[in-house]
Amino acid sequence: MDELACQDLVERVTDYLEGVLGPDETERVNRHLAGCDGCTAYVDQVRATVRASASLPPEVPSAQAEARLLDIYRTWAAERQGR
C-alpha cells in the first residue's frame, strides 16, 4: 500500500474525523500521522474547527466548511514553507 502524501491526508481528514473513512484508509492516515508532525498539528486544528462548527445551524452549506478547512490548510502550508 502506498504511503499517503500530506495532500492526500488533507483530502481525507474530514472523513477521517467523522469516522466514515474505511478501515484501510483510516490505517493509512494513522500511519502518516505517526511520522508527520505537521499533519498531526493540522488534524488537531481541524478537529478543533469541526468541534467549533458543530454548534452552527445544519443549513450551513458544507462547501463553506470545506473552504474554511482549506483556508486552515493554506495557512499551515505557508507557515511550514516559511520555516
CB of 36 to Zn ion, least distance (A): 3
Nearer to Zn ion, 6 or 21 (CB): 6
Helix residue ranges per DSSP H, the chain: 6-18, 23-34, 37-53, 62-82
d(CA 27, CA 10): 15
The residue within the footprint of Zn ion, chosen from 39, 43, 46, 69 (CB under 5 A), is 39
Grid coordinates belonging to 11: 483530502
CB of 32 to Zn ion, least distance (A): 6
Measured CA to CA in angstroms, residue 77 lies from 47, 49, 62, 70, 71 at distances of 17, 17, 22, 10, 10
Nearer to Zn ion, 48 or 56 (CB): 48
The residue within the footprint of Zn ion, chosen from 17, 36, 50, 72 (CB under 5 A), is 36
| Size of interface with Zn ion, in residues (CB under 5 A) | 3
Q: Which residues bind Zn ion (CB under 5 A)?
A: 6, 36, 39
